Structure 1
Amino acid sequence: MTAYEKFSKSIHNFGRLSMVLGMIAVLLPPMLMTFYFGFNPGITAIITGAISQISVSGAFYFSEPIANYPIVGAAGLYMSILSGNSVNLKIPAAVSAIAGSGYKQGTDEGSMMGTMGIAVSIYVATFFVIVSTIFAQTVIVNLPENIKEVLTLIIPALYGGIFAQFSVKSFKTGIFALVIAFVMSKIVALIPFNATFLITLVTVFSSIFFARTQLETINKNS
């Protein structure tokens, strides 16, 4: 057993414990509001809200662990899921750390570098969340409107940067993912209920399948 395998084995024990503690921390406030203070929106509102949230982010329950594990490994996956903002903050940090280290994604060394990148991003994000909570509201309110509009482009810019970084390695897979995402967005627009999660679900898994077929083709020809 390699050093990284021993590290991963120990991480699972601590990771499972952290997930359980995280669920308790998330559920504790609504439980206190319901059973201690007596504020309850009713089962109908709870079910409606749950369905609405699942329809938007339910696909990430399946797609994110599969798509992110080769980049960040088990430890990084536990941290990114528990701390949140995995796609727009943790994964870019992991990708940058791996690229800067010179190791390849999917290797033990690359996963370790990705884990370290996520760990650093959590500390940095926590610091700026505290600072922004105290000061940002006053600053943002007084910013010019054109600056506020530019700030809304931060997330698309991050997505575009990550997509370009991976697409350079396989232009065919990148084009395939864009086409599937575009087609799915048009299909979902025709569905009467909110099924935007289908765009992510279909695009991620179909792109993985396409990339696998491209890899198999390369291996056969080599």
Structure 2
Amino acid sequence: MSASSISTPITAADAESDLAEFDRTTSRWGRLTMIAGLILSVAGPLYLVFFTGLDISAAQLWTAFAAVAAVFAIIWIVEPVTYFPILGPAAMYQAFMIGNISSKLLPSALVAQTRIGAKPGTRRGDFAAVAAICGAAAVHLVSLALFVGILGTWLISIIPVDVIDVARLYVLPSVLGAVIVQAILTIKQLRITIIAVAIALLVQFVLLPLVPAIAFLTTGIAVIGTIIVSWLARDRKPAAAVEN
């Protein structure tokens, strides 16, 4: 038997070294690609402001930014905080570069983790999320090329208007509902589930009718409230060993 046919067993130190290298690589390229995406996304508006005759003043820019921030600033905080425990660092770079996180990438990651029995927040769960997002993105690109680029106009012309209206109303809620159910089945913690449902119902049907002005903040209030109450009501017993 030749020496090349004998496989060298991987030690725990080798595995840990490989994982550390994986983290360094994904962090380095993740930051670079996110910065590149940011530059490309603002290049067009900056060109219009500084190199065309639109006559947009700095005051107008800051006013527009303040209007957007007033609506979406809470999401800038809530989304990373809520997605990170499930996706992990490497998949977070993928998710925020690709988009459609809550309706496509997060469900894919949850299904993959559940399918192989990997807990979110573990190494195995992080790798499952990375692989799932790669698969979801590939399927999305192929389906876009086929059903939008090639068959899009024809499909829209033959689908009844009533069906399109129903899809617009119910497809997104049904996807988000499936994500919630999948998350509950994955986490399998009754106490946290009850707390999250109770706070969501309280915010939606009690707090929002009393203070309609907080309509754009309800998601953040529900998430932060769930985190605080769950932490206060947590089990004080010593935690079991975490899966690697």
Fold in common (TM above 0.5): yes
Q: Which residue in the other structure is 1:150 paired with?
A: 166
1:187 maps to 207
Pair 1:197–1:12, CA change in 2 (3 A):
farther
Residues 80, 118 of structure 1: 8 Å contact kept? yes
Match of 1:31 among 42, 46, 50: 46
2:88 counterpart of 1:73 = yes
> Aligned residue for 1:58?
73
3-state SS, counterpart of residue 105 of structure 1: coil
Deviates more, 1:155-164 or 1:142-151: 142-151
Cα distance in 2 between the residues matched to 1:120 and 1:70: 20
Give the superposed CA RMSD.
2.7
Alpha carbons 2:113, 2:119 under 8 Å: kept: yes
* TM-fit CA distance, 1:137: 4.5
Q: Deviation at 1:5?
A: 3.0
Q: Alignment partner for residue 98 of structure 1, among 92, 113, 116?
A: 113
Residues 155, 48 of structure 1: CA spacing in aligned structure 2 closer, same or farther, 3 A cutoff?
farther
1:44, distance to aligned residue in structure 2 (A): 5.4
Q: Structure 2: how far apart are the matches of 1:121 and 1:145?
A: 28
Q: How far, CA to CA, are the matches of 1:115 and 1:5 in structure 2?
A: 16
Residue-by-residue CA offset, 1:134-189 (whole Å, 9 max, x unaligned): 54355335421331133221221121112122334123322322232233234345
- Residue 100 of structure 2 corresponds to 85
| Count of residues paired in the alignment | 220
Aligned-partner Cα distance in 1 for 2:208–2:156: 35
Distance, in Å, in 2 between the alignment partners of 1:211 and 1:5 is 32
Map of 1:196 onto structure 2: 215
- The structure 1 residue matched to 2:28, chosen from 13, 24, 32, is 13
SS in 2 for 1:29: helix
Matched to 2:139, the amino acid is V
Structure 2 portions without partners, runs of 5+: 1-12
Tell me what 1:129 maps to.
Answer: 144
Deviation at 1:212, TM superposition (A): 3.4
Larger radius of gyration: 2
How far, CA to CA, are the matches of 1:25 and 1:126 in structure 2?
A: 20
Give 2:8's aligned residue.
none
8 Å Cα contact 2:195-2:230 kept in structure 1: no
1:53 shift after superposition: 2.8
Determine if contact 2:208/2:218 at 8 Å carries over to the other structure. Answer: yes
Q: Identify if the C-alpha distance between structure 1 residues 215 and 187 changes in structure 2 by more than 3 Å, giving closer, same or farther.
A: closer
Offset, 1:43: 4.7
Worse-superposed segment, 198-207 or 162-171: 162-171
Query: What is the alpha-carbon distance in structure 2 between the residues aligned to residue 50 and residue 138 of structure 1?
Result: 39
Which residue does the alignment assign to 1:120?
135
Matched residue, 2:227: 208
Give the distance between the partners of 1:182 and 1:93, measured in 2 at CA: 26
The change in CA–CA distance for 1:137 and 1:191 in structure 2 (over 3 A counts) is farther
Structure 1 residue 196, shift from structure 2 partner? 3.1
Is the Cα–Cα contact under 8 Å of residues 63 and 204 in structure 1 kept in the other structure? yes
